[in-house]
Structure 1
Amino acid sequence: MSDTTPRLRVAATPAAPALTLRPWTAADAPGLLALSRDDALRHWTSLDVDDETSAARWLREQREGWEQGRRFAFAVEEAGPAGTAAAPAGHVVLRYAAPGAASAEVGYWTAARARGRGVAPRALGALTEWAFTTFARDGLTRLELIHQTDNSASCRVAEKSRYDFAAVLPAQPPAYPRQGHLHVRHLTENSG
């Protein structure tokens, strides 16, 4: 990563503090390890962090994704008192496996303390805007969001973020043991 790696800002609302989206760093290991102990997070995501070694590995993989231009992962921070940042409140990611491709996948998760407060849709909105602004000139016109069919909270985040429901995807064990929902947002829908 370089000094040109983006930091995305989301303005505060009357009900929620400002957000900053920034690349994960090695210094996030203790906070990531603490977040990974959340049973709900472990149930709904593939986050495989159990100790300091696995936290360091996960963070290294995020950095390598940036360096390879295929996975752009952001830690989501809420502004604390006097503008200070607390431990990450979530994660958003753009998986762009084939630069120049017309579509990419987005994903997200939030810390237990941040759920139900609009962090995920606001962070996903910032990521969506950044993805289309950054990669549309290379041909990106479609973003896909996939979640398990029984994850109603993720379905609400997708809808709030203007990702339209497109299809039910069949289970594909072992990686995807349950059916999924596919939501889609197109570049042409990004204005307004």
Structure 2
Amino acid sequence: MPIGYESSSVILPVEATQSAPAVLLRPWRAADIDQLIEVCRDPGLRRYTSASVDSVADGVRWVRTQESGWAAGRRFSFAVVGDGPGAERVLGNVVLKEFADDGSTAEVGYWTAAWARGQSLAPRALDVLTEWAFGTFAARGLERLVLRHQVDNVASCRVAQKCGFAFDQALAPEPPRFPLEGHLHARRAG
């Protein structure tokens, strides 16, 4: 079971491709709140995520939740941002969360800002998060990562497949978080 991890020291680079620039994964900061509010206005994002950040107060709560997750060693949420000086635009989010009591399984999740879609950002960021998770938590027993998405979220299904998360099973609806049927994908260490 993960415990007490220092968030400030974790910055993960995501390499550039021919069609997309390099980005960084880093813990969320209070300075990201205005951008987070802007990202969360996207109806496409709201359809598939529980992130509801409509005001500065919501943003403060959301960032504090991410910071608390790091401090407790139970939830590791990364802002996906541009790389380089002045390139701190929020492009997305990836998260490692919901560890099993024995630490053998955890869930990953992600979302991409509307203006950053179509650049293979989600699969690139998810690949880096996956490698970090298995490398960081292997000694604590992490063997399997799972990814859930609603059945109508075809883009998330493609991201899962691109990143080696094989279809595992169909999921029944779990309102309000998952109002429709879904898919569970899984990837094992190694």
Q: Is the 8 A contact 1:19 1:78 kept in 2?
A: yes
| CA separation of 1:28 and 1:185: change in aligned 2, threshold 3 A | same
When normalised by structure 2's length, the TM-score is 0.93
Unaligned segments of structure 1, at least 5 residues: none
Query: Does structure 1 conserve the Cα–Cα contact (< 8 Å) formed by 2:167 and 2:186?
Result: yes
Please tell me the residue identity of whatever aligns with 2:154. Answer: S
* Greater displacement, 40-49 / 3-12: 3-12
Paired with 1:20 and 1:175, the residues of 2 have a C-alpha distance of 28
Alignment partners' CA distance in 1, 2:10 and 2:101: 18
Asked if structure 1 preserves the Cα contact closer than 8 Å seen for 2:7 and 2:70, the reply is: no
1:78 positional shift = 2.3
Q: Structure 2: which amino acid aligns with 1:107? A: G
How far apart are the structure 2 equivalents of 1:139 and 1:2? 19
RMSD: 1.5
Task: Kindly indicate whether the alpha-carbon contact (under 8 Å) linking 2:27 and 2:78 is maintained by their aligned counterparts in 1.
Answer: yes
Gaps of 5+ in 2: none
Structure-to-structure mapping, 1:119-138, within 5 angstroms: 119-138=121-140
Please tell me the residue identity of whatever aligns with 1:59: V
Name the counterpart of 2:114.
112
> Runs of 4 or more off by more than 6 Å in structure 1?
none
Q: TM-score, normalised by structure 1?
A: 0.92
Please identify, of 149-158 and 2-11, the stretch whose mean Cα deviation from structure 2 is larger: 2-11
Work out which of the residue numbers 165, 186, 189 in structure 2 matches 1:163: 165
The answer for the alignment partner of 2:57 in structure 1 is 53
Q: How does 1:28-177 map to 2 (within 5 A)?
A: 28-79=32-83, 84-98=86-100, 100-177=102-179
How far apart, CA to CA, are the structure 2 residues paired with 1:94 and 1:160?
18
Q: Do 1:32 and 1:55's aligned partners in 2 also have CA atoms closer than 8 Å?
A: yes
Give 1:116 deviation, angstroms. Answer: 1.3
CA distance in 2, matches of 1:89, 1:156: 19
Secondary structure of 1:93's match? Answer: strand
